[in-house]
Structure 1
Amino acid sequence: MLRTLVLSTTAALLSTVALGSSAGAADAPTAGGTAEASSLNGVQAVDPAPVGPKILVIGDSITSWYRDEPGSASQGWWSILARDPAVNASRITTYAEGGSGMNTRGNKCGGTTFGSRNKSIKKADVDFLIIEGGRNDYNTCDSRNRKKSLSKAKRRAGIKKYMERLDTHVRKEGIPRSHVLVMTPWGKSQRSLGTEMQSYVQRYAQREGFTFVTTKTLPTNKTIDNKHPNRAGSEYLAGAMKKALLAAR
């Protein structure tokens, strides 16, 4: 789901100018969060506020399932981050799709990979780039559009290749590597797999000079299903990313 949230910088809480989305994803959360369609099409907002950084998020369902609904259970970590007065974002765009990653297409293999979204990363539109992913990268899609488990070697190789290509793209666009922030949130489900995948993402992100944002295992009381964050989990992820973003300014 491609969404652009434009934020005003008035004294009150930052206000939404426009945000396009549609409900009804097949892989919706069971409680708390609000499902978003897995399409990467959406309504793009206009007339951004004159100050504050522009943030672009490439992500999976931990981003795409949620909305810009301040104070609600459905508010995404990215919305909480953008609306934090310390961040003072003028615009945040989420380019995210459930089930997707660096090694696998989303939308039940009918969608896109993170790498295919590189073309959406333009210096004029991005002050900070956030990559939220890795949760799905133990899989790929086979020729019949079915999920297929990858060997550890292929998991590593795919993540390494993605980070290398991302580095090539951001250098071409003139985006500082220090402004590329990467995180791999993980709940209690498949925790040992999470340790593995987080280590790969961290290794290859840092190799390219990107900032890896370490996040603790989300406990049951911070998730919907031991995978996806509830309101408390989204607040935690926003806080972790906020610290990294402010340090990179």
Structure 2
Amino acid sequence: MTTRAHWPRRRAGLVVVSIASTLAALVTSAGVAAPGSSAAAPAPITATETPAERATMLVVGDSYSSYYGDRHSRYPGWWALVAQDLGLEPQLEAAGGTGFLSRGVACDRTRYRARLDTVSTVRPRIMVVEGGRNDWRRCTADGRLVEATRTQIESAADRFFADLADVWDELDRPRADVYVMSPWGTSKARKGQIIRPILRDAAERYGFSWVQTRPLTLEQAPDGIHPNNEGSRFLRDQVLQNSDLSERFTRA
């Protein structure tokens, strides 16, 4: 199932007449960052320490994201660690087995394109698209899993990023504020050598930011796919080292 960490809606300011009510308002009120200009270059952002005031980082992904919890859980996800380091509030829209083309092993889940409504609803300050590991397979019309062709993967990726570009432009956000990554383990390494460049080229074609990540080792992903705690920390480090996020987001 998709795990979501909901971002609170903007509340109107309260008129207060006492010290006690003023303190209550400070604890409960929240706001979101105003939309930026899609024509402007990404600028440094200062994130506050109060969770209710943090800008949202929306993550669309697969089991590399959905199998893990927030930073307080026993197995915190890479996305939770990244959000914590940047002072952002994460919201997760992820489901195991899914991708740009794949709809899960039972063909009963949604592709990434079906989750674009969430982007419009959440209006995140930045977005991370994580995936590709499952897209070597696809579902037929009668619900069978078959191997996908390169052309089918390319078509699905291009269609997703084209639609995301339209949605993101409507939010008046710079496209560089969408970060795309395709983490991989030791399993099906040859598929990764095909799929990851496809996703990189499609993302960059539409002006999104590609984040290169080194494949996880067996010590970091013992099943060849899913990261353990060491693997999640490794992915966090890869995201921060191979993008401009650390330079753009600073704590107040």
Q: Same fold (TM over 0.5)?
A: yes
Distance 1:170 1:123 in 2: 11
What does residue range 147-162 of structure 1 map to in structure 2 within 5 Å?
147-162=145-160
Residue identity in the other structure for 1:63:
S
Distance 1:78 1:150 in 2: 28
What does residue range 3-152 of structure 1 map to in structure 2 within 5 Å?
3-4=4-5, 49-70=51-72, 72=74, 74-84=75-85, 87-89=86-88, 91-106=89-104, 108-122=106-120, 125-152=123-150
Distance 1:201 1:65 in 2: 22
Residue identity in the other structure for 2:174:
P
TM-score normalised by length of structure 1: 0.76
Distance 1:182 1:248 in 2: 17
Contiguous gaps of at least 5 residues in structure 1: 8-47
**Structure 1 residue 143, shift from structure 2 partner:** 1.7
Quick check: 206-215 or 153-162, which moved more?
Answer: 153-162
Match status 1:182 vs 2:184: no
**Structure 1 residue 51, shift from structure 2 partner:** 3.6
Counterpart in the other structure of 2:236: 238
Distance 2:182 2:209 in 1: 12
Is the CA contact (8 Å cut-off) linking 1:139 and 1:149 kept in structure 2?
A: yes
Q: Which structure ranks higher in relative contact order (CA pairs < 8 Å, sequence separation ≥ 6)?
A: 2
Task: Name the count of aligned residue pairs.
Answer: 205
Identify if the C-alpha distance between structure 1 residues 6 and 239 changes in structure 2 by more than 3 Å, giving closer, same or farther: farther
**Structure 1 residue 68, shift from structure 2 partner:** 1.7
Counterpart in the other structure of 1:34: none
**Structure 1 residue 6, shift from structure 2 partner:** 6.5
Is the CA contact (8 Å cut-off) linking 2:57 and 2:124 kept in structure 1?
A: yes
Deviations 1:34-78 (A, max 9, x none): xxxxxxxxxxxxxx7354321000000000111125373x11111
Deviations 1:84-143 (A, max 9, x none): 2xx011x21100001100112136211111000000003763001000001111221112
**Structure 1 residue 2, shift from structure 2 partner:** 3.4
Is the CA contact (8 Å cut-off) linking 2:200 and 2:210 kept in structure 1?
A: yes
TM-score normalised by length of structure 2: 0.75
- Could you say what secondary structure the match of 2:51 adopts? coil
Q: RMSD of the alignment, in Å?
A: 2.0
Is the CA contact (8 Å cut-off) linking 1:178 and 1:248 kept in structure 2?
A: no
Distance 1:124 1:159 in 2: 22
Larger Rg: 2
Residue identity in the other structure for 2:69:
R
Quick check: 91-100 or 138-147, which moved more?
Answer: 138-147
Distance 1:208 1:55 in 2: 20
Tell me the percent identity. 28
- Could you say what secondary structure the match of 1:217 adopts? coil
Counterpart in the other structure of 2:17: none
Distance 1:224 1:69 in 2: 21
Distance 1:170 1:152 in 2: 27
Contiguous gaps of at least 5 residues in structure 2: 9-49
Distance 2:146 2:248 in 1: 37
